[in-house]
């Protein structure tokens, strides 16, 4: 990688990754390794099998048993990525920032907006980057929706419908499905973190929040079937579904404007590709591209299920853009691709949704979030 001003090679930025479960091994490690200007230096996991997995998948990487061991070498690193269980996000992020290291934290950044704001203040005081990993902003379908909203194709958007629905009738267990509040489990904070972030990115602050959260599966402890309705300050209404109990899946997006609507089924292909071991820049077909049969449809007064409307080519998904932007921000001191303030705004909505679902009422947010 060349320096922009001198033309001389620049030393890659060294990344320490804490956690090598699903988030660390499937998302963060491959994306860091594929990013020009970044190098995966160390993976932290106490699990011997995961250490061996990391070494097999990234032969030049070092491993460490604890975050303390990693942070003891803070001077050898340029960035720490936290992909460990949700309950550890805040203490590990704080420790990394106090060690003088920029930090990326897998969503959710924290359990509460107040905690996120405290981390943001610490990062600002230290002059360090702090960013939440919201890869779903670079989903192919969301990039397409964002373009349609921005160029006015839909007219004035009135309602935005977004779903992450699954059919998983039997709980898997583990911390993500734990009913212990300290674990920050359940779909509201898992899939809801993405859905709310996307809605706020598209339409700005929310002023009211209504939610329904249920625990439906036998043996389940945390919410597994949840709905959120937002009213944005600009008048758009967002209806967001997240569920593990959906026997028939709805459209991923339905966006309704006063000129046209857009409907899209199916999921961005990047997660499936990463799970299969494919990597950006590899020998497979163009990264994040889906076939025409999967494109959404645009129209008015027609049903896409019967061929109504016009197909809209889906923009390629681009998860690599997140870490490319992180690398650029570290080099230039610029704005990260997702800020801690944006993460805090989404957390205020999630907190309001918890209150709404528990108390059966609509929650008004102060000055919008």
Question: 175 and 120, same structural domain?
Answer: no
Residue 369 lies in a domain: no
Same domain, 50 and 140: no
Residue 194 pLDDT exceeds 50 = yes
**Torsion sign (Cα): 334, 287, 296, 259:** positive
Task: Please list, in sequence order, all residues whose beta carbon lies within 8 angstroms of the beta carbon of residue 60, skipping any fewer than 6 positions away.
Answer: 39, 40
CA distance 79 to 17: 9
Residue 37 shares a structural domain with residue 74: yes
CA gap 164, 188 in Å, rounded: 11
In sequence order, the 6+-apart residues with CB closer than 8 A to the CB of 111 are 86, 90, 184, 189, 347
Report pLDDT for 72: 98
Q: Do 217 and 359 lie in a common domain?
A: yes
Same domain, 124 and 17: yes
Q: CB neighbours (10 Å) of residue 304?
A: 20
Shared domain check, 231 and 95: no
Domain of residue 248: give its range: 136-318+349-363
Is 6 part of any domain? Answer: no
> Is 2 domain-assigned?
no
Furthest CA-CA distance within the chain = 63
Q: How far is CA 298 from the centre of its chain?
A: 26
pLDDT tens readout for residues 298-321: 999 988 888 889 999 999 999 999
Residue with tokens 């959404």: 296
127 pLDDT exceeds 80? yes
Q: Tell me: the pLDDT tens digits for 19-74?
A: 999 999 999 999 999 999 999 999 999 999 999 999 999 999 999 999 999 999 99
Residue with tokens 């060294």: 14
Q: What DSSP designation does 8 have?
A: P
- pLDDT averaged over every residue in the chain: 95
CA nearest neighbour of 250 among 225, 232, 222, 270: 225
Whole-number Å distance between alpha carbons of 302 and 304? 6
Sheet holding 62-64, edge to edge: 62-64, 38-44, 13-18, 79-82, 103-106, 130-133
Query: In this structure, are 290 and 328 located in the same domain?
Result: no
For residue 34, which of 279, 329, 272, 325 has the smallest C-alpha distance? Answer: 279
In this structure, is residue 97 part of a structural domain?
yes
In 215-288, which ranges are continuous DSSP H helix? 270-275
In this predicted structure, the answer to whether residue 284 has a pLDDT above a threshold of 70 is: no
Domain tally for the chain? 2
Instruction: Let me know if residue 340 belongs to a domain.
Output: no
pTM equals 0.95
Query: What is the percent of the chain with per-residue pLDDT over 90, rounded to a whole number?
Result: 92
Identify the pLDDT of residue 9: 58
Q: Does 295 have pLDDT greater than 60?
A: yes
Residue 4 lies in a domain: no
CA-closest candidate to residue 138, choices 13, 275, 280, 41: 280
344 falls within a domain: no
Q: Same domain for 113 and 239?
A: no
Asked if the peptide bond before residue 108 counts as cis, ω within 30 degrees of 0, the response is yes
Residue 368 lies in a domain: no
Asked if 115 and 203 sit in the same domain, the reply is no
CATH code at position 78: 3.40.50.720
Report the 10 Å Cβ neighbour count for 316. Answer: 17
Angle at 152 between CA 147 and CA 153, to 5 degrees: 80
- In this structure, are 97 and 35 located in the same domain? yes
- CATH number of 313's domain: 3.30.360.10
Q: 102 and 142 share a domain?
A: no
Strand order in the sheet with 310-312: 310-312, 296-299, 261-264, 253-257, 157-165, 237-243, 225-232, 206-214, 363-364
Q: For the chain, state the CA radius of gyration.
A: 21
Residue 161 and residue 225 share a domain: yes
Q: Please report the pLDDT score of residue 7 as a whole number.
A: 45
Contact 357, 226 (CB under 8 A): yes
Helix ranges restricted to H, the chain: 22, 29-33, 48-57, 67-71, 89-98, 113-126, 140-150, 191-203, 270-275, 320-332, 340-359
CA distance 351 to 211: 10
Average pLDDT over residues 325-338: 97
């Amino acid at each position: 990688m060349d320096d922009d001003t001198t033309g001389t090679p620049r030393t890659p930025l060294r990344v320490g990754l804490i956690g090598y479960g699903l988030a660390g091994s499937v998302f963060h490690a491959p994306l860091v390794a594929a990013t020009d200007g970044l190098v995966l230096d160390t993976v932290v996991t106490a699990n011997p099998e995961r250490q061996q997995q990391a070494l097999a998948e990234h032969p030049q990487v070092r491993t460490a048993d604890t975050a303390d061991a990693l942070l003891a070498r803070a001077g050898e690193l340029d960035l720490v990525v936290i992909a460990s269980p949700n309950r550890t996000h805040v203490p590990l992020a704080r420790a990394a920032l106090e060690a003088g290291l920029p930090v990326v934290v897998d969503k959710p950044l924290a359990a509460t907006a107040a905690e996120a704001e405290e981390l943001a203040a610490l990062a600002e005081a230290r002059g360090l980057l702090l960013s939440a990993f919201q890869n779903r902003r670079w989903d192919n379908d969301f990039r397409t929706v964002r373009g349609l909203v921005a160029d006015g194709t839909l007219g004035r958007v009135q309602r935005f419908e977004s779903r992450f629905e699954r059919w998983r009738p039997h709980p898997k267990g583990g911390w993500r499905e734990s009913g212990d509040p300290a674990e920050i489990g359940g779909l509201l904070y898992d899939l809801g973190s993405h859905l709310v972030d996307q809605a706020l990115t598209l339409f700005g602050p929310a002023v009211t929040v209504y939610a329904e959260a249920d625990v439906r599966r036998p043996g389940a402890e945390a919410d597994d079937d949840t709905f959120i309705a937002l009213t944005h300050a600009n008048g758009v209404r967002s209806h967001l579904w997240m569920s593990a109990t959906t026997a028939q899946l709805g459209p991923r997006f339905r966006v309704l404007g006063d000129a046209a609507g857009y409907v899209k089924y199916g999921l961005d292909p990047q997660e499936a590709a990463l799970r299969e071991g494919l990597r950006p820049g590899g020998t497979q077909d163009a990264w994040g591209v889906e076939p025409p049969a999967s494109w959404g449809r645009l129209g008015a007064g027609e049903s896409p299920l019967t061929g109504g409307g016009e197909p809209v080519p889906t923009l390629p998904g681009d998860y690599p853009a997140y870490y490319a932007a992180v690398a650029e921000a570290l080099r230039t001191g610029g704005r990260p691709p997702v800020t801690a303030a944006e993460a805090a705004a989404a957390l205020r909505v999630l907190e309001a949704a918890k209150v709404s679902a528990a108390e059966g009422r609509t929650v008004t947010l102060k000055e919008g979030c």
